[in-house]
Homo-oligomer: A and B are copies of this chain.
Amino acid sequence: MRAIGHFLPHLRGVKQGPEHPATLLDTLLSHQSDSARLKSAHAVRDHFTTADDEGKRAFLQLLASGYNTDGKLLDAAISHYRKQRDPLSLSMLHAASEPRRQTILRRLNELPGGTASIIDMRREALRLKQDIPDFAALDHCFVHLLASWFNPGFLELRQLDFQSSADLASKLIQYEAVHAIDSWQSLRSRLEPADRRCYAFFHPRLGDEPLIFLELALTLDIPDSIEDILRSDREVIDACDATTAVFYSISNCQQGLRGIPFGGLLIKRVVDLLRAECRSLKTFVTLSPIPGLARWLGETGGGAFQPMTDGQDNALIASASRQTLLSRAAQYLAATTPDHGDPVARFHLGNGASIERLNWMADLSVQGLRQSYGLMVNYRYDLDHIDYDHRAFAEGALPRMSSEVRLLAGLSRQQSGKRQQNG
């Protein structure tokens, strides 16, 4: 049993003296006027921001291990609750069990730019977590508060286009995690044509800093290579003629918000918005990488398929057994569960999407060849199935897939819907 509350273990690296973080945090928690409290919060933030890594770590561990609750009050609340077991005594127990570090974070959040500071603080905590013994308790507070402040009601969906600010465009370039934007022309070709869109979530307290963005193409059929989407000499179509919306890139921008889920919601809001705008749209799919494929093949005896490097000839890929590779990839994706498997597959299947099609020679970039031998996959967002599939997948069912993919994976119709024993 470890002591909590104000008893603090020896704190390696925390400075002594008037700027001791414990002093700063105690002051922040004390009863003060609004303005005095704000000054305290400034002092805490400045301390953290200017600290070196060891100072940051020490501060975070202090926050994680100290600043829990008043043990006596909590014991009393527990006793009262056990006696009463009514709504009010429960509420009082809940209040009494709130760690005081939560109040600290709330008061930091009151600062101008406070929410950004807390996101930064969590990003640093995630980076240093190996050296913060009570990281789990600390992160519990971060996640609890961030999930509340970033609840879906606060998220603002905005379209980014060529009229968006140069600053925002430069962030798009910086955060694009899937297919790099390597020129001004490349930027324009994703933002300006009538059949290309980019949407992002913003938050009122983060101003023009995007949380996550989504790039999509409006097309006449489901594309089978990323080159079809990105090349600049293609013919632009009228958005109202498009039948298919293809999500080809989705990128998180804030490391400090890791685990706060926005992606599924962003896709669904964009689907709603597009359906209201373009009546012709019937099909909503992704064109997604399979980042874990090559490694999985390596681990599961796919030795024949060495990850490709840029020096190798594309012909080599062609000469590999195309059918074998597609089949193994289908098995890999079919084995996805909420907790295991390809991360992109987990994300989309977890959102209720299905596996629509595997595409051969679809991403011939260095990274595409290395990760997945150039294979890409289309996940399909079918609005009639999405709610059911979301729940079925969460509760252990096999992912839904098209008959083509099921065939590739060697699954009979009967097997679909049931998790394989060895899945």
Closest to A166 in B: B169
Known A-B contacts A115-B153, A137-B91; the reply to A85 vs B164 at CB < 8 A is no
Chain B residues whose C-beta falls within 8 Å of the C-beta of A106 in the assembled complex: 148, 151
**Do B99 and A91 touch (CB < 8 A)?**
yes
A3 to B109, CA, bound (A): 38
User: How many residues of chain A have a CB within 8 Å of chain B?
Assistant: 81
Chain B residues whose C-beta falls within 8 Å of the C-beta of A86 in the assembled complex: 1-2, 4, 134, 137
A290 to B184, CA, bound (A): 31
A386 to B33, CA, bound (A): 8
Min distance, Cβ A101 to any Cβ of chain B, angstroms? 8
Chain B residues whose C-beta falls within 8 Å of the C-beta of A205 in the assembled complex: 153-154, 204
Q: Is the interface of A mostly helix, strand, loop or mixed?
A: helix
Chain B residues whose C-beta falls within 8 Å of the C-beta of A282 in the assembled complex: none
Q: Is A120 an interface residue (CB 8 A)?
A: no
A118-165 interface (Cβ within 8 A of B): 134, 136-138, 140-141, 144-145, 148-149, 151-154, 162-165
Min distance, Cβ A63 to any Cβ of chain B, angstroms? 10
A109 to B155, CA, bound (A): 12
Q: Is A390 an interface residue (CB 8 A)?
A: yes
Chain B residues whose C-beta falls within 8 Å of the C-beta of A164 in the assembled complex: 165-166
Q: What number of copies of this chain does the assembly contain? A: 4
Chain B residues whose C-beta falls within 8 Å of the C-beta of A69 in the assembled complex: 90
Chain B residues whose C-beta falls within 8 Å of the C-beta of A110 in the assembled complex: 151-153
Chain B residues whose C-beta falls within 8 Å of the C-beta of A204 in the assembled complex: 154, 204-205
Closest to A65 in B: B87
A93 to B336, CA, bound (A): 33
Q: Is A78 an interface residue (CB 8 A)?
A: yes
Q: Is A35 an interface residue (CB 8 A)?
A: yes
Q: Is A280 an interface residue (CB 8 A)?
A: no
Provide a sorted-by-A list of 17 A–B residue pairs whose CB atoms are within 8 angstroms: A31-B394, A33-B387, A34-B264, A68-B90, A86-B137, A88-B140, A90-B97, A90-B99, A94-B94, A95-B144, A106-B148, A111-B153, A165-B166, A166-B168, A166-B188, A173-B184, A184-B184
Interface positions of A (Cβ within 8 A of B): 1-4, 31-36, 64-65, 68-69, 71, 74, 78, 82-88, 90-91, 93-95, 97-99, 106, 109-112, 114-115, 134, 136-138, 140-141, 144-145, 148-149, 151-154, 162-170, 173, 184, 187-188, 191-192, 204-205, 208, 264-265, 268, 351-352, 386-387, 390-391, 394
